[in-house]
């Protein structure tokens, strides 16, 4: 199995461009099912999750061509509404197919989705939204079947602003009869990107980015062309890499407003941030501990909690991180402890006593962002580290080792 071998204590410097966001691409790929014809997506990252979604769409009957960072998706031959279990299990985003398949065929059969093992990840809010729109949902033997003679616009009130449930509800509602209103909707930028794509297809969606989304159902949607929004989580990871290595990095092709909660914390920690139209520069300074609570957007993103924890592990003083989104997202802590970090986890809180240096060790990536966090820790640590289970990292960071090498890091992929 592949691993990363990292020699730490190299200050990173230079410019890095981030590509399209995994978490925007996946629902948009699913949304192409809502029409019949050729949609073109640009800046699609080369990631294993994207390949898994491609495999599912192809299995449903789509024809897909990849041209560099563009995906040409022809949905005119899609005929199936059922997704086999082994593909559903590959990633969380497979659940996004329920909304569009129901919208298109009025019928869908899927098993429970996989994704990062970061605590229980129920789909009750997804199902509730589909039921509100008129679907009859049956769960048995690990499969979920939904059917709707007609989908009818409805008021959907979420108990929690779930990103995936908001996206699924939007995709099911765009072709429902009448008006739908989603309240307490998630406000993540990826939802705005999905709205933009759906509207290019001829949908009538407004309000994404706020907690109330209004959708006027239409009878037909058309193929569309779209440039995927930049990946704010990758951008945040590179900024943290700059801070943890005492470096000077500029991250290009990013909307600074997507990262305010992160750059604000980095400044509080002691880094100097300069944000321009589409780039952010970070120059590291003396690092000091801060407290962080993960929250739905525009709060601090849970997907950057693990990388930030690595940074706080070498910041002066005590920091407290409270993870409010997922129940079990501190799996990197045991691995960071092997590298000399001093961290105590109590329930959803991690108490971090900063050490002046971590030391290289053999560690294993327990999930995607935790894997990213271990790479960052290794970049700062004294000596050589090996990070195993790189396949988790490849789900969401494209050629992370090559990107870090371009900034001067000493990291290689090895068998």
Ligand X SMILES: CC(=O)N[C@H]1[C@@H](OP(=O)(O)OP(=O)(O)OC[C@H]2O[C@@H](n3ccc(=O)[nH]c3=O)[C@H](O)[C@@H]2O)O[C@H](CO)[C@@H](O)[C@@H]1O
Ligand Y SMILES: C=C(OP(=O)(O)O)C(=O)O
Q: Which residues bind ligand X (CB under 6 A)?
A: 23, 26, 92-93, 120-126, 160, 162-165, 186, 302-303, 325-326
The single residue among 18, 95, 368, 380 that binds ligand Y, judged by CB under 6 A, is 368
* Residue 125 interface partner, choices ligand Y, ligand X, none, CB cut-off 5-8 Å depending on type: ligand X
Q: Which H or E run includes 291?
A: strand 291-293
Measured from the CB atom, is 309 or 409 closer to ligand X? 309
> 3-state DSSP: the chain helix, strand, coil percent, rounded to 5?
35, 30, 35
Residue 123 interacts with ligand Y (CB under 6 A)?
no
Q: Over 257-283, what HEC string results?
A: HHHHHHHHHHHHHCCEEEECCCEEEEE
Burial of residue 43 (CB within 10 Å: 0-12, 13-18, 19+) is buried
Q: Which H or E run includes 248?
A: strand 248-252
Burial of residue 267 (CB within 10 Å: 0-12, 13-18, 19+) is middle
Residue 336 interacts with ligand Y (CB under 6 A)?
no
Is 325 marked as binding a ligand? Answer: yes
Is 412 marked as binding a ligand? Answer: no
Residues 103-122 that bind ligand Y (CB under 6 A): 115-116
Measured from the CB atom, is 52 or 333 closer to ligand X? 52
Is 23 marked as binding a ligand? Answer: yes
Is 121 marked as binding a ligand? Answer: yes
Nearest distance, CB of residue 197 and ligand X, angstroms = 14
Residue length of the chain: 415
> Could you tell me which of 375, 382, 384, 385 has the C-alpha nearest to residue 405?
375
Bridge partners of residue 343, in order along the sequence: 352
Is 87 marked as binding a ligand? Answer: no
**What does the alpha-carbon distance between residue 63 and residue 61 come to, in Å, rounded to a whole number?**
7
Identify whether 116 is a catalytic site residue: yes
* Residue 368 interface partner, choices ligand Y, ligand X, none, CB cut-off 5-8 Å depending on type: ligand Y
**What does the alpha-carbon distance between residue 37 and residue 226 come to, in Å, rounded to a whole number?**
14
Question: What is the pattern of x (binds ligand Y, CB under 6 A) and - over residues 170-209?
Answer: ----------------------------------------
Residues tagged active-site: 116
Residues flagged as binding site for UDP-N-acetyl-alpha-D-glucosamine: 92, 121-125, 303, 325
Residues flagged as binding site for phosphoenolpyruvate: 22-23
């Amino acid at each position: 199995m592949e691993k990363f071998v990292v020699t730490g204590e190299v200050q990173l410097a230079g410019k890095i461009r981030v590509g399209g966001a995994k978490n925007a691409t996946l629902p948009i790929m699913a949304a192409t099912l809502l029409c019949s014809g050729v949609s073109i997506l640009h800046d699609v990252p080369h990631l294993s999750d994207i390949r898994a979604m491609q495999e599912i769409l192809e299995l449903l009957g789509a024809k897909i061509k990849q041209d560099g960072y563009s995906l040409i998706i022809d949905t005119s031959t899609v005929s199936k509404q059922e997704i086999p279990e082994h593909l559903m299990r590959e990633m969380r985003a497979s659940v996004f197919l329920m909304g569009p398949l129901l919208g298109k065929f009025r019928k869908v059969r899927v098993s429970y989705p996989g994704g990062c093992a970061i605590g229980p990840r129920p789909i009750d809010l997804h199902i509730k939204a589909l039921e509100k729109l008129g679907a009859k949902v049956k769960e048995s033997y690990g499969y979920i079947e939904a059917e709707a003679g007609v989908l009818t616009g409805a008021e959907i009130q979420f108990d929690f602003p779930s990103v995936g449930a908001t996206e699924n509800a939007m995709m099911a509602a765009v072709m429902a009869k009448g008006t739908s209103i989603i309240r307490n909707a998630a406000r993540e930028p990826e939802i705005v990107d999905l709205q933009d794509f759906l509207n290019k297809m001829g949908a009538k969606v407004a309000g994404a980015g706020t907690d109330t989304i209004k959708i006027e159902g239409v009878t037909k949607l058309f193929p569309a062309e779209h440039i995927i929004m930049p990946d704010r989580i990758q951008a945040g990871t590179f900024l943290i890499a700059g801070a943890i290595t005492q470096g000077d990095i500029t991250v290009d092709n990013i909307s600074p407003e997507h990262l305010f909660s992160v750059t604000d914390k980095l400044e509080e920690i002691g880094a100097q941030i300069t944000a321009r139209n589409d780039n952010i520069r970070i120059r590291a300074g003396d690092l000091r501990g801060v407290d962080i609570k993960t929250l739905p957007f525009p709060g601090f993103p849970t997907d950057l909690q693990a990388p930030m924890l690595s940074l706080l592990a070498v910041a002066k003083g005590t920091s407290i991180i409270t993870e409010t989104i997922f129940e079990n997202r501190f799996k990197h802590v045991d691995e960071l402890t092997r590298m000399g970090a001093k961290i105590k986890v109590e329930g959803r809180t991690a108490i971090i006593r900063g050490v002046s240096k971590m030391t290289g060790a053999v560690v294993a990536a327990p999930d995607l962002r935790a894997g990213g966090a271990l790479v960052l820790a290794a970049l700062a640590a004294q000596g050589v580290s090996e990070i195993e289970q790189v396949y988790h990292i490849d789900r969401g960071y494209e050629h992370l080792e090559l990107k870090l090498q371009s900034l001067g890091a000493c990291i290689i992929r090895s068998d």
